[in-house]
Structure formats: C-alpha cells, structure tokens
C-alpha cells in the first residue's frame, strides 16, 4: 500500500528560496571557544596542555594533540561532501515515497560513503585527562580520540538543491506539531526565510554524528523492509542534523556577499547591465557595513570598495566600447569570486 505523499520539497519553498539562497552559506573552518580558566602550555607543533586547580590541591591536566590539518580547499571538500550527504538523503526519501527500496538503499549507502570520506579528511585529536590528589596519587585518568562533529555546508556550487529539502522537512515537522505561525517564522528556519522585509543571513552546519547514526538506522530499516522506519530516520537527519545560525548585525555584509555572487553569475552570462546593477547593490551594502565594522576591518572594506569601483568603471566602458573578450571576462569573474571568499572570512565564527 502506497504511503501518503510527502509535500514536494521543490514546490514547497524552492521558488521562495531560489533568489534568497543564491549564496546564503558561509564556508568557514570550525572555531573552538576557550572559556575555561587555567594555565596552558602550547608548544608550536606539539600538544596543548592545560592545568586546572590550585597548587597543593587536586589538579587536573588535559593534554590534547591534533594530527592533521585542513587547508581552505580541504574544508571546501568537507563542506561539499556534507551537502552531497543531504542530497542523497532527500533522494532516498523520494525513492521510499515511490516504494523503490533498491534505489533508497543505494542512496543511503552513498550518503554513508560520503560521511566516511569526510571522516577521513577531518583531523583527529587525542585528549588525555589526568586528575591527581594533593598526595600525588592519580584518582582519574582517561584518553580518547575525538573528531569535529559539526561541519559546514557549502552552497556556492549547489544553490538551493541542498537547503530546499532540509527546510521543507523542518517546515513540515513544525506544521505537524501545530506550532504558532509567528513562532515558526522566528524558529530554526528564520535564518533563510523573509522575516517581514528583512533577510537574516545564515551560516549552516551539519551534525555529522547525528546524521551518520540516522543513516545507519535507515540502512537497517531498509534491509528489514521497514520503509516507514527508514523514512522517519532520514527525516530526523534532515530536521535535527542541520543547524542554522544567524546574526542580524552581519546582515549588510551578507547582502553585499549575495550581491557579489549575483555579479559573478551575471558576468558568467555576459550580462553586463545586470552585473553593474548587482555590483552597485554590493557597493551600497559594503558602505553600510563599513559604518558598523571594527576599525581594523574598515581598511579591508575600503580596499574592496576601491577594487569594485575599478571593475564598475571597466563595465561602464563596455557599454560604449567593445565588450570584453572571454579571457578578460574570466579574469573579472575570478576577481569577484575572490571578493566573495574574502567576505566569507570576515563573518563572525559561530562554530
């Protein structure tokens, strides 16, 4: 018996997101806040050692050493693979809706393979914890290997393909729970929906452990021919496995970044008038951001504005003179892409 159809994820919100999510995500490496109080010793290239507790009392030493590092390009790989995981999840759910268990199993397996690739890329940290009593006796000791659980999603190449199904799943769950409409608009999906007339830009990250566990449950359920259980596990991965983070203070910068991405798209399409219009929006929002940016960031903004003015002048000349050739257009696209990446690095690190 065919199960009731899930709402079409594309039809639910694709149109609303198509413009708003042109470049909603930020590719950043994770950052770890260190708020604990204690002494630390961090030899360059060696383990990090932190000691807690007063001299003569109970003392706890935490020694951590990370093996491996990730370059910016490596983080791009991680984020791109994470986005692929969620595409496989959505395609598996579509296959379940169509009662195509074979395809669903294939998509789940591909999602798990992508996570394995991510795990292979991510650095691993060995953490050794030891607590000693005032008499020097060790009262607690533990050593374990840990790995970053939260990874960024990179939308730059995938546009709304990754986020639309995730948001639809979150929206469906909220509707099923009959939450108040106003609460729904301000909840998890607020970061990528229009709240009034203001777009709240987001960072998006995936909980690797949670998603991996749900994929494992889905694989077992499919092997046991329990299609409904498999679909529920995949829905949990979509709803709980992704977190949207936003900061209203970053809104002008996010709007500038989005306009820059659209400028690049327009240049790729050789649409100079549209590229100039998008570039003008980017410049306006950069000027707004400059007024609230830290002093050390203002110089960076000034430099980007100068470069943007130079590109605008080149594009303006093209309206009255010969259009740029392919090589020059490619160079312009690379310059704009560099701005986009530079702006991404300016955002506050939320994770």
What residue ranges do the domains of the chain occupy?
9-29+72-120+151-246, 249-346
Residue 217 token pair: 């449950």
Asked if residues 259 and 336 have their Cβ atoms less than 8 Å apart, the reply is no
pLDDT tens digits along 148-194:
888 877 544 344 556 667 767 766 766 666 555 444 443 333 333 33
- In whole angstroms, what is the distance from residue 46 CA to residue 244 CA? 34
pLDDT tens digits along 301-333:
999 999 999 999 999 888 667 788 889 999 999
**The pLDDT value given to residue 1:** 42
Q: In what order do the strands lie in the sheet with 202-207?
A: 150-152, 202-207, 242-246
Lookup result for tokens 């395609």: 91
- In whole angstroms, what is the distance from residue 22 CA to residue 261 CA? 7
Lookup result for tokens 């093209």: 318
For the entire predicted model, the pTM comes to 0.57
**The pLDDT value given to residue 232:** 96
CB within 8 Å of 25: residues ≥ 6 apart? 152, 153, 154, 155, 156, 163, 202, 203, 204
Share the mean pLDDT of the chain: 77
């Amino acid at each position: 018996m065919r199960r009731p159809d899930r709402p079409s994820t594309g039809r639910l919100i694709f149109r609303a997101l198509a413009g708003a999510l042109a470049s909603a995500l930020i590719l950043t490496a994770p950052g770890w806040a260190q708020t604990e109080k204690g002494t630390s010793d961090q030899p360059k290239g060696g383990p990090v050692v932190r000691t807690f507790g007063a001299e003569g009392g109970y003392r706890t030493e935490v020694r951590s050493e990370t093996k491996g590092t990730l370059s910016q390009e490596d983080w791009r790989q991680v984020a791109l693979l994470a986005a692929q995981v969620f595409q496989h999840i959505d395609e598996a759910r579509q296959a379940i809706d169509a009662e195509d268990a074979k395809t669903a199993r294939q998509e789940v397996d591909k999602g798990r393979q992508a996570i394995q690739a991510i795990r292979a890329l991510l650095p691993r940290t060995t953490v050794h914890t030891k607590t000693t009593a005032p008499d020097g006796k060790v009262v607690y000791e533990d050593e374990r290997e840990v790995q970053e659980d939260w990874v960024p999603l990179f939308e730059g190449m995938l546009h709304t393909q990754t986020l639309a199904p995730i948001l639809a799943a979150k929206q469906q769950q909220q509707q099923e729970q009959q939450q108040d409409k106003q609460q729904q608009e301000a909840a998890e999906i607020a970061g990528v929906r229009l709240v009034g007339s203001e777009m709240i830009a987001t960072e998006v990250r995936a909980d690797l452990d949670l998603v991996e566990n749900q994929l494992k449950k889905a694989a077992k359920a499919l092997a046991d021919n329990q299609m409904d259980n498999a679909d529920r596990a995949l829905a949990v991965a979509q709803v709980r496995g992704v977190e949207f983070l936003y900061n209203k203070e970053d809104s002008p910068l996010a709007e500038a970044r989005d306009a820059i991405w659209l400028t690049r798209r327009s240049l790729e399409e050789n649409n100079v008038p549209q590229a100039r219009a998008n570039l003008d929006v980017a410049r306006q929002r950069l000027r707004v951001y400059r007024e609230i940016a830290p002093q050390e960031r203002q110089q960076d903004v000034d430099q980007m504005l100068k470069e943007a003015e130079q590109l605008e002048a080149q594009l303006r000349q093209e309206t009255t003179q010969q259009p740029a050739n392919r090589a020059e257009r490619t160079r312009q696209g690379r310059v704009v892409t560099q701005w986009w990446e530079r702006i991404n690095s300016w955002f506050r690190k939320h994770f």
